Structures are given as structure tokens and as C-alpha cells.
């Protein structure tokens, strides 16, 4: 009875967007309470839908309903909703975390005055985009909401577009950062759109029910599916900030911290991972595609983690860690999908075993996505609390904040432990599942062994840089800005932190209470089923995790990372300057300059983009405009010239008429003479 109202889930934030945008100025807190109420209502409805679906008879078959939207020839495009286990999980954590972020915004955005209306309207629209994307029943509908999020990220990253700190670099200037985010993700979106065109051409429909039907897939041209899914993955690379389109996300830190939290935890970058998970039945048609997906994910995880190692900006460290964690999710989906794809090619008992092993990758990716949403939202909101208090983002000016901000420091410690993969914290469970599946895929191809190695090193680096950040911020001597900080943040900010920290610590245990069944993936001859898998339960996972020697390897590495960070930044018995020649070593500079990716982007834009733009400009102005202008000039000039024949003088007209009549008369006479023989 609630599932029929799934369309309300994105519609309510949409209405909030309209109400706040049009009337928000007159309401208390400039529309903040309306946005919170909308997000909360969406969460409640999502929870009711999830409960009804998961306990209903249809589970795990997806529940879907559509209405016809329009038709072009024999392509029918529908609007509707599609509810399955993945939808439920995404809906729940997106709306829940967004609600908390909106509550937190009341405190964080307190000083913004009239601009708050714009802020709350835009975040409501952002949430609309994410929830709409999640419940969409076909790829076109999804793509529309995908673009809505692209727009909102542009607007919100550039929220402080009037601030020009120093120069025009995207990292210093909100307007440039917004532009960069928009343009870089646009590159991915173009790929995604091309991919959808290919799928539409192959399947004559974009409905999930049609596309995920094994019979339809078997009828379609497999090369075209491969090409189409590679292009769709291009969209994921842009949206989820994967290598090599990852560089917009660190710059996006120019927006308010709440927006960063929203982008990194509840919306936007999660959309890309969701798209891979949603399109899994098509992705797994070709092992090579999944190998590519896995390589991109593993490389991103490693690259981004290296850049976080020596950054001094508290938000940028978190941004790089997000990119790195997204890499983990993509890696898990890629490795699992690779095994499934191989198994489907192989067939037989061996193939079935591979498929069974590979589907764990789907669960791992989705599970890590949810855990990451909790602890990354928490970490960002903690960093926001710190920034709110000390008024800077530079960690060198912080330090010793632990005494002044007890709640923030403790919740952030919990978040950091979680992301570092400290045993029994949420990040530990999902990260080890990811590493496990990568290692398992390594049995089939050496590529995944390499990626597993990168991922293990990344786990070490993650622990190190997260605790470097925590120690630099909360421990050690008091920095310049700590001495006149405002102390702990108001309750509207700390309450969401406390709630989220509970989830960040405990959400990992959900997998023992059936979450793995909810986001499992099953391949049968007649369907690809999300959800409804066997819920392994506590024993299964304990057994698997704690008998695996590699689990202990990552635990040791994580503890080692934390320990080194402690020695370097809290106890200061080891001088980090010894390893990087006090910031002079080549590697240090490469990392500080983000592997020169911003320069590379600029170089490509100037050499390639600008050149193409100049050529297009020339064609537009000279060839196209020239043709049009030339034609109109010819018509106008010709008309001018010919109109001079109309002298306006009655006598001239008379003369012409008389002449004509005379000529006609003479002609008649001549004809009559010839015919009459006169």
C-alpha cells in the first residue's frame, strides 16, 4: 500500500524546493525547517516502502509501475518507479543522511542571512535529484535526475561564488571550482548519453525491466552492449570522480562543508556507483568491461590516497579519501562482475561457482557505499564543526582542539577509526569484503592481484592520512587559530554528529542481520535478481573474515598507519620532514601538486579544447553566419535595386501600360493577318 506511492519520495523534496524557493524568505529560518521536514518525510515514506517491500510477497522480484510518457516511432519512453533491494537501501541512507545534514545546516549556515533561502532550495532540489535517480524505472528518467544533480552541484559548489580568495585557480575560487565540476562531469555525461543511445538502439527501450531481461540481452548484439556499457561507465567516471576525471572533487571543497557532505555521502558521487550496481546485468555481459571497471576503481583508490598524504587542508584530505573510497566500491563491483562474467561465459559447475563467488562483489560494493555514506557524512560534518569554530581550513593552524571541542573530536575519532578499517568498526567489514573479492578475482587474472596489492597499500595509507588529520587537528600543541576558537559548536550541529557516529560505528553489523541478502545479486537463466539472497548471518562472516590471513594483514597495516601517524603528528618523536627532505623531495612536490592533474587538465583544455573551440568559432562565424548573412544581404540589396523601378510617377506607369497595350494590339493584328490570310 505504500509502494504505490514511491513517486512521492522524490516529489516531496521537489515541492520543498518550490516552496522554499518561492516563499522561503518569509518563513522562519528562511525555509530551513521546510527542507528538513521534506527530507524527513521522504525518509519516513522510504522506510515504510522498504518495510512493505522487504516483508511483502513480491520480494525479491522488483516492484515496478510506469505510465507512458511519449513515443518516438517505436521507441516508447515511460515514467515510473522501480523498487528492489538496492533501491530500498539507497533511498533509506540518502534521505536519512540528508535529513541530518539539513538539520546540521541550521547551525552551520546560521550567518548566511538571506542567502539561506537559496541554499535550502538548492539542497532540496539536490535531494530530489538523488531520490529520483534511485527510484527511476528507466535509464532516461534516471539520466534526467542525474543531470538535475549535476546542475545542483554546480549551484552549490559555487554558493560562495562572490568570494575570490587569491587568483583564478579553481582550488581557491568557488566560481571556478563550480565551473570545473560542471565541465568535468559533463564530459562523463556526454559518454553516458552516447551509451544510452546505443542501448536504446539495441533494445528499442530504456526500461530496466526490458534491459535486464536475459532473453532480450541474448537477442541484442553483444559488441554493441559492450560499447554501450563502456560509454555508460564513462558517465560513472565523471560523476563518481574516478581516474582520470577525479580532479573536480577536491576543488569542489570551495562550497560550504554541508554541501561537501551532501555530495560525498548522500548524493552525487554515490550516483555513479549506483549506476554501475543498477546496470550490473548489462555490465557483466563482458569480462573485459568489468576488468576495465576494476582497473579504474583500483587505480583511483591508490592515486587519490597518495594525494591525501601530505595535504594540509582538512576538507581536501577528506575529499581525496572520498575519491579513494569510491575507487574501492568500483573495484569491488568490477572484480565481482569480472568473476560473474567469466562464470557466465564458462558455464557448467565451474562457472556456477565463479558466479557465486563474484556476486559477493556486488554486495561488497553496495555495502561499502552505505558504510561510506555514514562515516563520510560524519567526517565532513565534524570538519565543518571544526572550521565553524576556528575559522580556517588549514590544519597547521589547528592542533590541540580536543580540549575545546570534546563532542566533535570524539565523533571524528569514531569516523576516522571507521574509515581506517579498525576492527569491528563499519569500514572494517566492508573494506575487507572489497579486498577479499579483489583477491579472489586475482586467481583469474594477474590484473586483479595487482589491484588487490594497490588496495591493500591504500588501506594502509588511508589509516595514516586519516589519523594524520585527526592528530594534527585535535592533538599536539595549540595552533594559531585554536587559541581564539569559538569552542564547541551549537546543538543543532553536534546532535547530528552524535547520531551519525552511532551509525558509522555500527552500520557494519547490519550485514549480519540480513543486509547482505537485501543487496545480493543472483544470476539465473531467466532473470538477474537483486536482493533475496541467503542472509549469511553472523557466523558465516566471522568464519570467513577471521580465518582469512589477509584480514590480519590489513588490520596490522591499519594499526601501523595509525601508529606512524601518532608518532609523527601527536608525539612528534619522528619528524615527517626526514622522509620528504622538508618538502623538497620530488615525490612530495608531485603529491602536493596532485600528480600535476590540474596542469594536465589545463593543458588539455588549452591545447585541445581551445583549439577546437577556435575552429568551431571560425566555422560558426565565417561559414554558417556568412552563408546566412550573405543570403539576406543579397535579398535586401536585390529588393532595394528593383524597387527603384517603381518611380511613383503616374506618367511612367501610364507610358508602360500604353506601350504594353500597343504592343499587344500590334501582336493581335499580326496574328489575325497571318491566320486570316488578309
Number of neighbours of residue 106 by Cβ within 10 angstroms: 21
> CB atoms < 10 A from the CB of 588, how many?
18
Q: Say how far apart CA 316 and CA 183 lie, in whole Å.
A: 20
Nearest distance, CB of residue 652 and other proteins, angstroms = 9
Q: In whole angstroms, give the CA distance from residue 212 to residue 394.
A: 48
Residue closer to other proteins, measured from CB, 22 or 672: 672
Closest distance between other proteins and the C-beta of residue 631, in Å? 24
Residue 661 CB, shortest distance to other proteins, in Å, is 9
Rounded least distance, CB 619 to other proteins, Å: 39
Q: What residues contact 573, with CB distance under 8 A and at least 6 apart?
A: 567
What is residue 445's three-state secondary structure?
coil
Smaller CB distance to other proteins: residue 221 or 652?
Answer: 652
Provide, rounded to whole angstroms, the least separation between the CB of residue 639 and other proteins.
12
Q: How far is the CB of 670 from other proteins (least distance, A)?
A: 19
d(CA 382, CA 432): 25
How many C-beta neighbours within 10 Å does residue 73 have? 6
146 close to 271: Cβ distance less than 8 angstroms: yes
CB 228 within 8 A of CB 199: yes
For other proteins, the closer of residues 5 and 653 by Cβ is: 653
* Contact positions vs other proteins (CB under 8 A): 643, 646-651, 654-655, 658
CB of 647 to other proteins, least distance (A): 7
Other beta carbons within 10 angstroms of residue 182's beta carbon come to 18
Q: How far is the CB of 656 from other proteins (least distance, A)?
A: 10
**Burial class, 411, CB count within 10 angstroms (exposed 0-12 / middle 13-18 / buried 19+):** buried
The nearest distance, CB 651 to other proteins, in angstroms, is 6
Q: Please, what is the minimum distance in Å from the beta carbon of residue 646 to other proteins?
A: 7
Nearer to other proteins, 539 or 650 (CB): 650
Work out how close the CB of 633 gets to other proteins at its nearest, in angstroms, rounded to a whole number.
20
Beta bridge partners of 83: 63
Rounded Cα distance, 447 and 450, in Å: 5
Q: How far is the CB of 674 from other proteins (least distance, A)?
A: 23
All cell numbers assigned to 330: 568500483
- Considering the complex, state which of residue 632 and residue 654 has its C-beta at the smaller distance from other proteins: 654
Instruction: Report the residue number, 223 or 654, with the smaller CB distance to other proteins.
Output: 654
Q: Which is nearer to other proteins, 538 or 665 (CB)?
A: 665
How far apart are the C-alpha atoms of 23 and 136, rounded to whole Å? Answer: 29
Q: Minimum Å distance from CB 146 to other proteins?
A: 58
Is residue 390 within 8 Å of 401, Cβ to Cβ?
Answer: yes
- Which residue number, 604 or 655, has a Cβ lying nearer to other proteins? 655
Nearest approach in angstroms of CB 672 to other proteins is: 16
Counting other chains too, the contacts that 540-549 makes at CB distance below 8 Å and 24 or more residues apart are 541/429, 541/511, 541/512, 544/436, 545/429, 545/432, 548/432, 548/436
623/657 with CB nearer other proteins: 657
Instruction: Using only the alpha carbons of the chain, give its radius of gyration.
Output: 31
Please tell me the distance from the alpha carbon of residue 86 to that of residue 67, in angstroms, as a whole number: 22
627, burial (CB in 10 Å: exposed 0-12, middle 13-18, buried 19+): exposed
CA distance 644 to 283: 71
Nearer to other proteins, 549 or 639 (CB): 639
Distance (Å, whole) CA 534 – CA 528: 15
Q: Which is nearer to other proteins, 526 or 647 (CB)?
A: 647
3-state secondary structure of 6: coil
Residue 224, CA distances (Å) to 139, 230, 670 in order? 17, 10, 77
Q: Which is nearer to other proteins, 613 or 636 (CB)?
A: 636
Cα separation, 313 vs 319, whole angstroms: 10
Nearer to other proteins, 628 or 658 (CB): 658
Q: At what angle do helices 139-157 and 115-135 cross, to 10 degrees?
A: 160
Of the candidates 333, 316, 231, the residue with the CA atom closest to the CA atom of residue 276: 333
Are the CB atoms for 257 and 218 separated by under 8 Å? no
Nearer to other proteins, 619 or 657 (CB): 657
CA distance 367 to 552: 21
Amino acid at each position: 500500500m505504500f509502494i504505490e506511492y514511491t513517486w512521492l519520495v522524490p516529489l516531496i523534496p521537489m515541492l520543498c524546493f518550490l516552496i522554499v524557493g518561492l516563499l522561503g524568505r518569509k518563513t522562519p529560518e528562511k525555509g530551513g525547517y521546510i527542507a528538513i521536514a521534506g527530507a524527513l518525510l521522504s525518509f519516513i515514506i522510504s522506510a515504510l516502502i522498504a518495510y512493505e517491500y522487504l516483508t511483502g510477497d513480491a520480494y525479491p522480484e522488483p516492484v515496478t509501475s510506469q505510465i507512458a510518457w511519449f513515443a518516438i516511432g517505436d521507441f516508447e519512453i515511460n515514467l515510473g518507479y522501480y523498487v528492489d533491494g538496492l533501491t530500498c537501501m539507497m533511498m533509506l541512507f540518502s534521505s536519512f543522511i540528508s535529513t541530518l545534514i539539513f538539520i546540521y545546516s541550521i547551525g552551520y549556515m546560521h550567518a548566511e542571512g538571506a542567502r539561506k533561502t537559496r541554499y535550502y532550495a538548492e539542497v532540496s532540489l539536490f535531494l530530489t535529484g538523488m531520490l529520483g535517480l534511485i527510484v527511476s524505472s528507466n535509464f532516461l528518467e534516471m539520466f534526467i535526475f542525474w543531470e538535475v544533480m549535476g546542475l545542483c552541484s554546480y549551484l552549490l559548489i559555487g554558493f560562495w561564488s562572490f568570494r575570490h580568495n587569491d587568483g583564478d585557480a579553481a582550488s581557491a575560487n568557488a566560481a571556478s571550482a563550480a565551473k570545473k565540476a560542471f565541465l568535468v562531469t559533463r564530459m562523463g555525461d556526454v559518454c553516458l548519453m552516447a551509451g544510452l543511445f546505443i542501448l536504446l538502439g539495441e533494445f528499442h527501450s530504456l526500461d530496466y525491466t526490458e534491459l535486464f531481461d536475459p532473453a532480450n540481452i541474448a537477442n541484442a548484439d553483444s559488441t554493441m552492449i559492450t560499447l554501450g556499457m563502456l560509454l555508460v561507465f564513462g558517465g560513472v567516471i565523471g560523476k563518481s570522480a574516478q581516474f582520470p576525471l577525479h580532479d573536480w572533487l577536491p576543488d569542489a571543497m570551495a562550497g560550504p562543508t554541508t554541501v561537501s557532505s551532501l555530495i560525498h555521502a548522500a548524493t552525487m558521487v554515490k550516483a555513479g556507483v549506483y549506476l554501475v550496481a543498477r546496470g550490473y546485468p548489462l555490465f557483466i555481459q563482458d569480462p573485459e568491461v568489468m576488468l576495465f571497471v576494476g582497473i579504474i576503481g583500483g587505480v583511483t583508490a591508490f592515486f587519490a590516497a597518495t594525494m591525501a598524504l601530505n595535504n594540509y587542508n582538512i576538507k581536501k584530505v577528506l575529499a581525496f579519501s572520498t575519491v579513494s573510497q569510491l575507487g574501492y566500491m568500483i573495484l569491488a563491483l568490477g572484480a565481482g562482475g569480472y568473476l560473474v562474467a567469466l562464470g557466465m561465459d564458462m558455464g557448467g559447475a565451474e562457472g556456477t561457482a565463479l558466479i557465486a563467488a563474484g556476486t559477493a562483489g556486488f554486495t561488497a560494493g553496495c555495502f561499502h557505499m552505505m558504510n561510506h555514506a555514514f562515516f563520510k557524512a560524519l567526517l565532513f560534518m565534524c570538519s565543518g564543526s571544526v572550521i565553524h569554530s576556528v575559522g580556517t581550513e588549514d590544519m597547521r593552524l589547528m592542533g590541540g582542539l580536543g580540549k575545546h571541542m570534546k563532542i566533535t573530536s570524539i565523533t571524528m575519532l569514531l569516523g576516522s577509526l571507521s574509515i581506517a578499517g579498525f576492527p569491528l568498526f563499519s569500514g572494517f567489514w566492508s573494506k575487507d569484503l572489497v579486498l577479499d573479492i579483489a583477491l579472489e578475482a586475482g586467481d583469474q587474472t594477474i590484473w586483479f592481484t595487482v589491484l588487490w596489492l594497490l588496495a591493500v597499500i591504500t588501506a594502509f595509507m588511508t589509516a595514516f592520512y586519516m589519523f594524520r588529520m585527526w592528530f594534527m587537528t585535535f592533538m599536539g600543541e595549540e595552533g594559531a587559530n585554536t587559541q581564539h576558537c569559538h569552542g564547541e559548536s551549537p546543538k543543532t550541529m553536534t546532535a547530528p554528529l552524535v547520531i551519525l557516529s552511532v551509525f558509522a560505528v555500527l552500520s557494519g553489523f547490519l550485514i549480519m542481520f540480513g543486509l547482505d541478502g537485501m543487496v545480493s545479486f543472483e544470476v539465473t537463466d531467466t532473470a538477474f535478481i537483486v536482493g533475496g539472497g541467503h542472509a549469511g548471518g553472523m557466523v558465516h562472516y566471522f568464519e570467513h573474515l577471521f580465518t582469512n590471513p589477509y584480514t590480519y594483514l590489513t588490520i596490522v597495516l591499519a594499526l601501523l598507519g595509525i601508529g606512524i601517524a601518532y608518532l609523527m603528528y601527536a608525539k612528534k618523536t619522528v619528524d615527517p620532514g626526514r622522509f620528504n627532505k622538508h618538502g623538497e623531495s620530488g615525490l612530495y612536490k608531485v603529491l602536493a601538486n596532485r600528480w600535476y592533474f590540474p596542469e594536465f587538465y589545463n593543458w588539455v583544455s588549452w591545447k585541445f579544447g581551445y583549439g577546437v573551440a577556435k575552429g568551431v568559432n571560425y566555422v560558426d562565424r565565417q561559414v554558417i553566419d556568412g552563408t546566412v548573412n550573405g543570403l539576406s544581404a543579397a535579398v535586401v540589396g536585390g529588393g532595394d535595386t528593383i524597387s527603384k523601378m517603381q518611380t511613383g510617377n503616374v506618367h511612367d506607369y501610364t507610358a508602360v501600360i500604353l506601350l504594353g497595350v500597343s504592343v499587344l494590339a500590334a501582336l493581335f493584328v499580326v496574328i489575325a493577318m497571318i491566320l486570316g490570310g488578309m
